[in-house]
Chain A
């Protein structure tokens, strides 16, 4: 059963319990967020998706990613207060990750002056501890990462600071990382990430890397794929298919 919420006085349809951020973005509202991904649970870590609740028993500024849509909810997505609070939160994120291009671009757009110079070799130093990598890794069933330690010593990494058994070198953590701070190195021979090296499974036609061997084994077992599923890369599969198609037609 659909419900109605009001975003900047505009009526928008939603499903009960949906993330307000998701509903607003679907309706075309531009709310910034770094730690949000619709595939995983929202934890309101980056605190940039602030909106103002104007209805109900608890009005005020709150994160929208982990706010659930309720019938009749009224929010606004822009006000001097929201801008001020977003700018403050961005300033704090910039102190933690001064070299992050994403943060610096937002800062330039919002008129926030970065207080620290970007470090020469950023890498994991640009982590804003949003734990999106941790959540995505767990959702994929690898469970290789955790937030380790607390306070200023908090970092994201594998258990015991050692290569994680569950890590398959899929690189999903890096692909969702808002500040791209996870260090992954691909050479023709292998991929290195989180202190572990993974050999590639290669395309039998062109020899290009398709997937890491460990990721291949995991995916075939979990998704019940045929053993040869990853033996040919996508572009080669396509050209094979088009040749087959051509041979049928002519």
Chain B
């Protein structure tokens, strides 16, 4: 499984986002990272370097903060995010089978992104909706009582939507 290639980063766009924050304001780092991720869906290395320059802090500091928070991603993420709940309730009700099938159908491992950057597949330990298990979350929308039978249709509809 080769990792998805990072697309070229629009430097002008990065600079435009950075210009919304005062230069040299180290305290704005997390806000800057949020804004960058909202634009690129992940934090490109080039963007982080420009952010360090703009905020006048070291690249190491920026990298330390970006890697500290689970919510920031340093690898390209898909247009759609498909999350399988692997909590105990979902687990005993078949979540591993769903994950297996998704990995097979999308040809991507959990935590990975398809090479065409259409879908990122990930797992979560529990979202507290145990009564709905096994639970699949697609782009923030919860699909409860998911079965391997209903899965292909759902995946297809998501991917088609992605192409339109």
Contact = CB atoms under 8 A, between A and B. Distances in A.
A146 interface: yes
Contact of B64 (A147, A164, A165, A166): A147
Counting contact residues on chain B (CB < 8 A from A), the size range is 10 to 19
Contacts of A160: 45, 48, 59, 63
A146 B68 CA distance: 11
A159 B53 CA distance: 14
B67 A145 contact: no
B54 to A, nearest CB: 15
Contacts of A158: 60
B68 A159 contact: no
A145 B68 contact: no
A148 B64 contact: yes
B4 to A, nearest CB: 17
A164 B59 contact: yes
A114 to B, nearest CB: 30
Q: Which of A145, A147, A159 has the most CB of B within 10 A?
A: A159
Nearest to B74: A160
A150 B67 contact: yes
A56 B21 CA distance: 43
A138 B58 contact: yes
A144 B45 CA distance: 16
Interface residues of A, number: 16
A166 B58 contact: yes
Contacts of A144: 58, 60
A143 B64 contact: no
Interface string B56-77: 0011111110011100000000
Question: Which DSSP category, helix, strand, loop or mixed, fits chain B's interface?
Answer: helix
A80 interface: no
A120 interface: no
A148 B58 CA distance: 13
B59 A149 contact: no
Interface string A124-135: 000000000010
B55 to A, nearest CB: 13
Contacts of A159: 48, 58-60, 62-64
Contacts of A165: 59
Interface in B33-87: 45, 48, 58-64, 67-69
Nearest to B45: A160
A160 B67 CA distance: 10
Contacts of B62: 159
Contacts of A166: 58-60
Nearest to A165: B59
Contacts of B59: 143, 159-160, 164-166
Given A143-B58, A149-B68, 12 more contacts: A138-B58, A143-B60, A143-B61, A144-B60, A145-B60, A147-B64, A150-B69, A159-B58, A159-B62, A160-B45, A160-B63, A164-B60
Interface of B: 45, 48, 58-64, 67-69
21 contacts: A134-B60, A143-B58, A143-B60, A144-B58, A145-B60, A146-B58, A146-B60, A146-B63, A146-B64, A147-B68, A149-B67, A149-B68, A158-B60, A159-B48, A159-B60, A159-B63, A159-B64, A160-B59, A160-B63, A164-B60, A165-B59
